Structures are given as C-alpha cells and as structure tokens.
Amino acid sequence: MISVEKLPFEKVPQLSDRDVAYVVNDEKLRPFFKYPVTIEAFAKVFKDKAKDQTDRATLVKVLKKQYLPLATSATVLNNIESLEKENTFTVITAHQPSLFTGPLYYIYKIISTINLARQLNERYPDYHVVPVFITGGEDHDFAEVQKANIFNKTLVWENEESGSVGAMKTESLQPVLAELKDLLGTSSHAVEIYQLLESAYTENKIYANATIQMVNSLFGEDGLVVLGMNDPDLKRGFIPIITQELVQQKSHELVEATSNQLNEAGFKTQATPREINLFYLRDQIRERIVFEEGYYQVLNTDYKFNETELLAEVNQHPEHFSPNVVMRPLYQEKTLPNLAYIGGGGELAYWLERKSQFAHFNINYPMLIRRNSVLWLDQGMNKKIDKLDLKVADIFMETEALIKLFLKRIANKPLHLKPEKAQLESMFDDIAERIKAIDPTLEATVKAEGAKQIKSLENLESRLMRAEKQKHNVAVNQIRAIKDKLFFSNGLQERRDNFLSFYVKYGPDFFDILKKELDPLDKRFVVIKDTV
C-alpha cells in the first residue's frame, strides 16, 4: 500500500538556501523572475508567449524527421502535429543524455512536466499544452553522463571518443549493457526494461538518437515529445542571436550585472558568463570561440576567422555553433512556443540570472517551476524506520543529530545535565558577586573555576551519550545504515540512485504512482512510502 507524506522545503536541510528561497517566494528573489508559480498566472503567460515569433513549421518538420524511425503513440504524433497551431504551447524540461537516464530526478523532471501539461489542459481548454523533454547532447562533458548507480553499484560507460556526447557512437556501450543485464536479473520487470534499453542503444548508431528512442519508449503513451536541438534547421532560426552574440557580446555584460545583483541579495550565482558564450561544433570537436587580436579563434584547434569569414560561416553552417549554458535557454525559448521551464534548484539558479538577457533579445521569459523532489521508501526501509519509532521528518536530520534524538527518546532518564549546569552557573554567579564585594581581583578566578566545573559536567554528558550509544549499539548502527542508504554522503536519494533499482521491483507501477502523486505546483517535498 502506498502512502504519501509531504514536507515543506525549508524542513529539508539537504536543499540549498537558494533553492528553498525560490520555492518559498523569498522577496529578495522577486526581481529576478517574471511570473509567480501559480496555475492562475498562466493566463498571462499564454498571452505573452503568443507575441513571440516562433517558427512552428520548422519545429514540426524537425520533430517529424527525428520521429520518423520511431514507433510511438498516436498522442505524441497528434501533439507534434498540433504544434503548428497558434493555440498550442509547450512546457519543457531538459537534461543531458545520462546513461540509462542517470539519477532519479531525470525521471521526476519528466513526470513533473507531463503532469503540469495535464493540469494546464484541464484548466485552459481553449489552448493545447504539449509536454516536451529536450535531451542535450552538444555538451562535451562525458564524465557527467557516463555513470548510473543501480543497486548501489556504479556502472560506467567507457569511451575514448571526444567532442559532443550526443554524437558519440553507441557501439562502445556493449560492455556496460552486458553488465546491466547481469545486474538486473531475470524477473519479468527486469527483462522488460532491459529489452527496452537494449533496443534503444543497439538500434541507433548515435547516442543522441538512442536517448530519444529510450525516453519515447518510456513516456510516449503520456504524449511526451522528445526533442534533440542539435539540428541545422532549428539553428538557422537562431542565426540573428548567434550573430549578435559574436559581434556585440551583450550576454556577458547583462548576465554579469544580474549575477552581481544576486550576490548582493545574498545568493551565490551559478554560471560564469564569457565574452562569447558559444562553442564551435564540428568533426567531433566542441571548443570555445574567443576573440583575440582582431580574429575569432577556436581554442585548441587551427580554426581562425575574421569577422566577415565568421559571419559567413554562421549563415552557411549554423549547426557549427553551439550555445553554452548562458545561451542555451535563449535557444530553447526562441525555438519553442514555451510557457514554463521545469527544473531542479541548480538549473533554476542559472535561469534566475537570465531575465535581462531575455529582455534584450526580445524573447519572453518563461515561468520557472521547481520540479518535484521525491524520497521513495520501500517496504523494507519503512519497517526499519517504524521499528526505530522515527518520523519521516526525522530521517532528513544529520546522522549524529538523529542518533542523539533517538537516544533521548528511548532513555529512561535524561541524557543531559541542563538543570545541574544551570544550578552550577547560578551558584558561581552568586559566589562571584560576594567575592567581588570583598576583593574584585578574585572575580576572574571564580568565573574561571565556574567555567571549569561546567566543562566537567559537559564531559559527563558526553560520557552518558556514549554509554547510551553502546547500550543501543544495534539500533544506532541501523540508523547509520538507513542514513547511508537514503542520504549517501548526506545527499538526496534522487541525486544518486537510478530508476532501474525501483522499476525491477515495481514495474510500470513505479511510474504510475509518480504520475498520480507528483504536482509541480505543490511546493512541498514528496515522501512516498510503500507500507505493508
């Protein structure tokens, strides 16, 4: 039986202060976003985004091309067709093409987006809203996508290729696929999900295409449209902004100014803008473009252009230019008729640096929505927590603090000497006053002796706690094991574990439960408990 408990974000210490501040509507962040996160605010977002010049025909042409080799649902195909209509909009999430989807929040982002689209379609029947997942792939940081943690074992994709991850060949995945098959086992759910993954990674020669097929196979029935944006036709529509970025270099100035304002408001900024926030992407290289001594140089290569040559290259081959993290939101919002971006705390942090940049390029700044965060407790974990008489909120505590709380609850007598310390402090205060009246030079000596005695009591408290820990050694070790399992290195489960660890046990019900329980407009941390 599934039960759900929800916690305020401010009660989850594993989340950053900035992340919590956005969710709880901290007034200091209000100048940095456009729309409040409410279902009612979308009425204005629809109208504002309708003013943007979105090339719907090209978007649909590219999507049809990308979906041509895929078997998918009628809902997805209808959603793609509908994007040509002026009353159709999108809600978007995005992620790098992590191995086997990477950490759990990859899945939570997608389901948050699917559920938001459903809510908007119900609330605003005059419009049609399509959930879209943008799979990255232009990035060259292979280390960020090559691992997946399944059943506490880290699988690693070994690959000697360089350049953009999405363009890498899938043939090098064979060893890690074989390892995955052995790890998952032979249950019906394991066989089912392995076949889905194997098909995606063996039927496509290029990793980006494999990722599109994988996500479509998982969520196509929900109408999720998957888009790879490394496409020459899409980038052709981005040429005016690419040109501005190369020649005028305004993003650096705008984002840096916003970053300074965020720092002054007490929020550490996320990304560092460069003078030119574009890479040159070609022949499996993706290197920064810099302007030096009158020329545009592609770092670590022989490519070098004067301004006329570079602008000709942009117009002839826009696919050779790849936005970095500073430009990627602009490219995305320029390309799609988008209402909202759904992301994690780290992602929203760099989006909050972009408002003035969007205004400069005359693109509507979307609503920013914090994806759902989830802690999933299976039956075995619930039994352990219940046996220790711990509450859900307790297990988010730091390990040693949780152990102290547990020991205090079960101790026959208090494990502290607070009344005794108070009495001792009062007694030495009285002595100090009496001594001061007779010989003021002795006051410091009395206070020092008092501090020494208080320290002795504190040492006795520590010994009491150690004795109680020893007495309940088994329970204390169980608490440590629970914390290590759910909050490895004091991080959240969703940032480490892969969905396959749960799918093998629950099958499609795992997704169905998440689709039922996740609401990205509900600003609370979700704890899902599988109880007996």
| Maximum Cα–Cα distance across the chain | 97
Residue of 408 and 467 predicted with greater confidence: 408
CA distance linking residue 112 with residue 521, whole number of Å: 9
- Statement: residue 416 has pLDDT above 60: no
pLDDT of residue 355: 97
Residue of 214 and 465 predicted with greater confidence: 214
pLDDT of residue 464: 62
Q: Assess contact for 235 and 319: CB atoms under 8 A.
A: yes
Query: Mean pLDDT over all residues of the chain?
Result: 92
Tell me the three-class secondary structure of 65-119, residue by residue: HHHCCCCCCHHHHHHHHHCCCCCEEEEEEEECCCHHHCCCHHHHHHHHHHHHHHH
The burial class, CB within 10 Å (0-12 / 13-18 / 19+), for 162 is: exposed
pLDDT of residue 81: 98
Q: For the residues 214-223, what does the mean pLDDT come to?
A: 98
**How far separated are the first and last CA of the chain, in Å rounded?**
6
List, for residues 104-150, the tens digit of each pLDDT value.
999 999 999 999 999 999 999 999 999 999 998 887 788 889 999 99
Percent pLDDT > 70 in the chain is 94
Backbone angles phi, psi at 85, to 5 degrees: -85, 145
List, for residues 51-100, the tens digit of each pLDDT value.
998 999 999 999 999 999 999 999 999 999 999 999 999 999 999 999 99
CA 94 to chain centre: 10
In angstroms, the Cα distances linking 78 to 225, 227, 269 are 10, 15, 40
Q: Assess contact for 270 and 319: CB atoms under 8 A.
A: no
Q: Assess contact for 148 and 498: CB atoms under 8 A.
A: yes
Q: DSSP string of 162-227? A: -S-GGGSBGGGGHHHHHHHHHHH-SSHHHHHHHHHHHHHHHH-SBHHHHHHHHHHHHHGGGTPEEE
Residue 418's pLDDT band, with cuts at 50, 70 and 90, is low
Sign (positive/negative) of CA torsion 469, 475, 477, 481?
Answer: negative
Kindly report the pTM of this predicted structure: 0.88
pLDDT of residue 443: 73
Backbone angles phi, psi at 83, to 5 degrees: -65, -15
CA distance linking residue 446 with residue 225, whole number of Å: 75
- Statement: residue 7 has pLDDT above 90: yes
Which residues lie closer than 8 Å to 438 by C-beta, 6 or more apart? none
Sign (positive/negative) of CA torsion 5, 7, 13, 15?
Answer: positive
Q: For the residues 393-399, what does the mean pLDDT come to?
A: 95
List, for residues 341-393, the tens digit of each pLDDT value.
999 999 999 999 999 999 999 999 999 999 999 999 999 999 999 988 899 99
**For residue 150, what are the β-bridge partners?**
153
CA angle 133, 241, 235 (to 5 degrees): 45
Q: For the residues 289-310, what does the mean pLDDT come to?
A: 95
- Statement: residue 218 has pLDDT above 80: yes
- Statement: residue 417 has pLDDT above 60: no
List, for residues 158-175, the tens digit of each pLDDT value.
998 988 899 999 999 999
- Output DSSP code: residue 141: -
Tokens encoding 246: 């190369």
List, for residues 239-261, the tens digit of each pLDDT value.
999 999 999 999 999 999 999 99
- Statement: residue 421 has pLDDT above 70: no
pLDDT of residue 532: 65
